[in-house]
Amino acid sequence: MSVGTIHRPARCELVETPDESELTMAAESAESGIQPAIQVTGISKRYMQNGTPLVVLEDVDFEASDGEFVSIIGPSGCGKSTLLNIIAGLDQPSSGTIYGRTDEDRLGEVGYMQQRDLLMPWRSVLDNAIMGLEVQGVAKAEAQGRARALLDDFGLAGFGDEYPHTLSGGMRQRAAFLRTVLADQEVFLLDEPFGALDALTRSQIQEWLLDMWGRVQKTIVLVTHDVDEAIFLSDRVYVMSSRPGRMTLVEDIDLPRPRHQDMVTQPRFVELKAQLLTSVRGEVAGG
């Protein structure tokens, strides 16, 4: 396979005869080198619970640039899934903007893999994988062809016609990720995707995910409660406070790539881990 079989629309259209403002914008973009794929500004979210307002998110700023791998960690119940739901367009903020907008038509702009793999038990692996493409109106045979071409890369060779119950936990997660990748968005949101996996499978799938991310060059936002996982995978890690969730720390992960599991004992990794753990524990203790 080659990831070349993934049909990815160009993020920026080429303009045949650019005018001055387009040239200026292109120059500015080239100067900064990267563009924000997600920009969340001043998001707050309130729910009503038993007639009382519950503030879940408060003045949250968050950014992920094109092609970045960014993680969010924080105590349980601090609003991480709520934030992803808002970015995905499944929920709306009470105030604040996403991508500089306040409108509601973000649904379908990002690929979203939630905590449970949500594979349909009555559909084969292949037919689960093509669900996003079917929604987009791609003909079934064409969609199946695209999925089949990627089975090998996703460690699912020979399992395309099998049903989810025959797969291991790691294979189910890769099948769910295949479905997310095939839907071909520029941004993937992954909510605790490896939480149910044992440690060995988890570290294998982390390395696999990094390899895949390097090849598809998409933006990934990962929610995890695992500090090691966040450091190992990410370019940047956000720590959220306990509810109401706010961003309390943003840490650039300056470890070289490619990354390998043996890095977790190296001094810089250990130092970053100590900083993040102090911040997370402060939140748990304070919350």
Catalog residues that contact ligand ADP under the rule CB under 6 A.
47, 49, 54, 56, 74, 76-82, 243
33 CB-contact burial (10 Å; exposed 0-12 / middle 13-18 / buried 19+):
exposed
Choose between 91 and 235: whose C-beta lies nearer to ligand ADP: 91
Nearer of residues 81 and 206 to ligand ADP, judged by Cβ: 81
Q: Sign of the C-alpha dihedral, residues 179, 183, 184, 186?
A: negative
By C-beta, is 4 or 51 nearer to ligand ADP?
51
Q: d(Cα 274, Cα 282) in Å, to the nearest integer?
A: 12
Q: How many CA atoms lie within 13 A of 277 on its CB side?
A: 10
CB of 30 to ligand ADP, least distance (A): 37
- Which 3 state secondary structure label does DSSP give 97? strand
Q: How far apart are CA 150 and CA 16, in angstroms?
A: 34
Q: For the chain, report the end-to-end CA distance as a whole number of angstroms.
A: 48
The least distance separating ligand ADP from the CB of residue 116, rounded to whole angstroms, comes to 13
Would you say 57 or 150 has its CB closer to ligand ADP?
A: 57
In the complex, least distance from residue 245 CB atom to ligand ADP, rounded to whole angstroms? 7
**Residue closer to ligand ADP (CB basis): 114 or 124:** 114
Q: How far is the CB of 99 from ligand ADP (least distance, A)?
A: 20
Q: CB of 48: closest distance to ligand ADP in angstroms?
A: 7
